[in-house]
A and B are shown apart, each in its own frame.
Chain A
Amino acid sequence: MGKTKSYEEINEKIKSGNAVVVTAEEVISLVEEEGVKKTASKVDVVTTGTFGPMCSSGVILNVGHPQPRIKISEVYLNDVPAYTGIAAVDLYLGATSLPESDPGNSKYPGEFSYGGAHVIEDLVAGKEINLEAYAYGTDCYPREKWETKMRLEDMQEAILFNPRNAYQNYNAAVNTSDRTIYTYMGILKPRMGNINFSTAGQLSPLFNDPYLKTIGIGTSIFLGGGTGYVAWHGTQHNPHAPRVENGTPKAPGATLSLVGNLKQMQSRWLRGLSYLGYGVSLQVGMGVPIPILNEEILQYTAVKDEDIYAPIMEYSRGFPYKEGSNLGWVSYGELKSGIVKIEGQEVPAAPLASYAGAREIAETLKTWIQEGNFTLTRPAAALPGFD
């Protein structure tokens, strides 16, 4: 076991502008050239990133009180309904929420051209949105209807709060049926016409710290172009997923719940998405800095696409009806090559998460740390299964 570093020592180096920061992509070749020991002593922080569709996302908004005051019981933002079952002018707008006028899949496959995620993108882009609110009226909150235009800057608070992001691995999706299907994994052509996948692989945060030794509650992160935090473990968090030798899971594993001030984020990294026949989702840009506390942690960050495996899941029957298990595993190296061989058939592969975006996030986080604008946080508590 070589030299160890503390969070405090790394933060001191960051503040003095001397921290050595590399991305999770750059660290791979460094370790190949110089070995784990030398790289671990040289590098202080490895930055990661991912920019993929994350349906379990949304914003808590406090829209402020009009005069007279209102206790909102029903609300629409650009016609998209938000949840009002909390305090008077507190709302939760979920990314996948759709206008009541949206035809859904009644004209199959539905287009889902505008939903909660698009409202979030529009707000962050500084656009004016229409707010339409209804209430039953009380002695303390007498107003029964309120219609107004509003921008993000007019809101009292806007908090991005995502119950499940940054999935540590996910299914690669195929369709073995005879018809095209429309899923949250994109358009899947019949007879295994394509295989779609959705992680940034070797750049993805939780592949680079597979046992979450440095990521826990309170970890400060890049979120939507601003700063955010790990709030909790995400929904469907599964620390017990089967793992390969390098520690990365072979199935969907850990997840994170994320929080941050929407007002300091950028629409470039929070994008409304429309999946044909499925619905609306939010493409979230997020990245986690990993402090190189010791050689073991450095070793984890050097993981390569070739050594990370996604389960191949069938989406016409297998996944939706919970019939059968996966069709095997495929490495992210193969997936990113564009062609995967499954049961003797050459299947074209496409990503749904932007690897180019992930790299840009890791680079941005690197620059923030190098310039002393972002320091690392010791988690307040570990996530379940990793304590």
Chain B
Amino acid sequence: MIRKKVVLHFPATLVEQPFIYYLIRDYQLMVNILRANINPRKEGRLIVEINGEEGDFNEGIDWLSAQGVRITTLKQQIIWREDRCTHCGACTVICPTGALYLQRPEMIVHFDENKCVACEHCLKACPAKAMETLMENTTG
């Protein structure tokens, strides 16, 4: 079994098709939608956590790609620019999942990509603009 967070980018032409339904029915995958931005006739974006057998997962992803859905891994969505981070900690009460947290007692900020759901609250909460979002990165 594997569990992975991915971002599905739907071109405007595909946005009205029920891909998640097929993913669940045909590939026996558990799909947990973490965040969705879907609008009629516009490019859509879904952040999902997929749980299932590795073979099913890979086949499901291949099928989505073949349909024209672009898939990126979630960790590429939110970037922590450590060089810009002043380790103030303002983000740590705004991040809803604990992905951004303070290591105590040193009071050093860390970013756990695995806990990030790309809600982007940190982009607004960080006064030093150390958090960035990268939409253009793609992987298979």
Per the bound structure, the CA–CA distance linking A212 and B129 in Å amounts to: 35
B72 within 8 A of partner (CB): no
Residues 30-56 of chain A, each 1 if its beta carbon lies under 8 Å from chain B, else 0? 000000000000000000000111000
Checking B87, B105, B127 against A53 with a beta-carbon cut-off of 8 angstroms, the contacting residue is B127
The winner among B93, B106, B108 for most chain A CB atoms within 10 A is: B93
Interface size of A in residues (CB-CB distance below 8 Å)? 31
A194 touches B88 (CB 8 A): no
Pair count A-B, CB < 8 A: 77
B93 touches A349 (CB 8 A): yes
Checking A51, A189, A275 against B127 with a beta-carbon cut-off of 8 angstroms, the contacting residue is A275
A187 touches B124 (CB 8 A): yes
A221 within 8 A of partner (CB): no
Checking A51, A348, A353 against B93 with a beta-carbon cut-off of 8 angstroms, the contacting residue is A348
B124 touches A351 (CB 8 A): no
A196 touches B105 (CB 8 A): no
The answer to whether residues A356 and B107 also contact, given A51-B86, A338-B102 and a CB cut-off of 8 A, is yes
Checking B88, B94, B104, B125 against A354 with a beta-carbon cut-off of 8 angstroms, the contacting residue is B88
Residues of B near A196 (CB, < 8 A) are 90, 93
Kindly state the interface size class of chain B when it binds its partner. 20 to 34
B77 within 8 A of partner (CB): no
When C-beta atoms are compared, the residue in chain A nearest to B103 turns out to be A356
A276 touches B104 (CB 8 A): no
Residues 53-81 of chain B, each 1 if its beta carbon lies under 8 Å from chain A, else 0? 00000000000000000000000000000
When C-beta atoms are compared, the residue in chain A nearest to B101 turns out to be A338
Residues 336-370 of chain A, each 1 if its beta carbon lies under 8 Å from chain B, else 0? 11100000000011111111110000000000000
A354 touches B89 (CB 8 A): yes
Residues of A near B93 (CB, < 8 A) are 189, 193-194, 196, 348-350
B127 touches A356 (CB 8 A): no
Checking A187, A274, A353 against B88 with a beta-carbon cut-off of 8 angstroms, the contacting residue is A353
When C-beta atoms are compared, the residue in chain B nearest to A360 turns out to be B87
A225 within 8 A of partner (CB): no
Residues of B near A71 (CB, < 8 A) are none
Residues of B near A224 (CB, < 8 A) are none
Per the bound structure, the CA–CA distance linking A141 and B21 in Å amounts to: 75
A336 touches B104 (CB 8 A): yes
Residues of A near B124 (CB, < 8 A) are 109, 187, 276
A310 within 8 A of partner (CB): no
B104 touches A337 (CB 8 A): yes
Per the bound structure, the CA–CA distance linking A113 and B132 in Å amounts to: 14
Least Cβ–Cβ distance between A182 and chain B, in angstroms: 9
Per the bound structure, the CA–CA distance linking A356 and B87 in Å amounts to: 6
Q: Which of A181-217 contact B (CB under 8 A)?
A: 186-187, 189, 193-194, 196
Residues of B near A350 (CB, < 8 A) are 89-94, 102
Residues of A near B86 (CB, < 8 A) are 51, 271, 283, 354, 357
When C-beta atoms are compared, the residue in chain B nearest to A278 turns out to be B127
A281 within 8 A of partner (CB): yes
Per the bound structure, the CA–CA distance linking A196 and B128 in Å amounts to: 16
The answer to whether residues A276 and B107 also contact, given A350-B90, A351-B90, A353-B88 and a CB cut-off of 8 A, is no
When C-beta atoms are compared, the residue in chain B nearest to A349 turns out to be B93
When C-beta atoms are compared, the residue in chain B nearest to A355 turns out to be B107
Q: Which of B107-140 contact A (CB under 8 A)?
A: 107-109, 124-125, 127-129
Per the bound structure, the CA–CA distance linking A276 and B91 in Å amounts to: 12
When C-beta atoms are compared, the residue in chain A nearest to B107 turns out to be A355
When C-beta atoms are compared, the residue in chain B nearest to A337 turns out to be B104
When C-beta atoms are compared, the residue in chain B nearest to A186 turns out to be B90
Per the bound structure, the CA–CA distance linking A274 and B92 in Å amounts to: 17
B87 touches A186 (CB 8 A): no
Per the bound structure, the CA–CA distance linking A189 and B124 in Å amounts to: 13
The answer to whether residues A354 and B127 also contact, given A187-B94, A196-B93, A336-B105 and a CB cut-off of 8 A, is no
Residues of B near A356 (CB, < 8 A) are 87, 106-109
B128 touches A273 (CB 8 A): yes
Residues of A near B91 (CB, < 8 A) are 350
When C-beta atoms are compared, the residue in chain B nearest to A285 turns out to be B86
A residues at B contact (CB < 8 Å):
51-53, 109, 113, 186-187, 189, 193-194, 196, 271, 273-276, 281, 283, 336-338, 348-357
Q: Can you list 5 pairs linking A and B with CB atoms under 8 Å apart?
A: A281-B127, A337-B104, A350-B93, A350-B94, A354-B89
3 tightest CB-CB pairs across the interface, nearest first? A355-B107, A273-B127, A194-B93
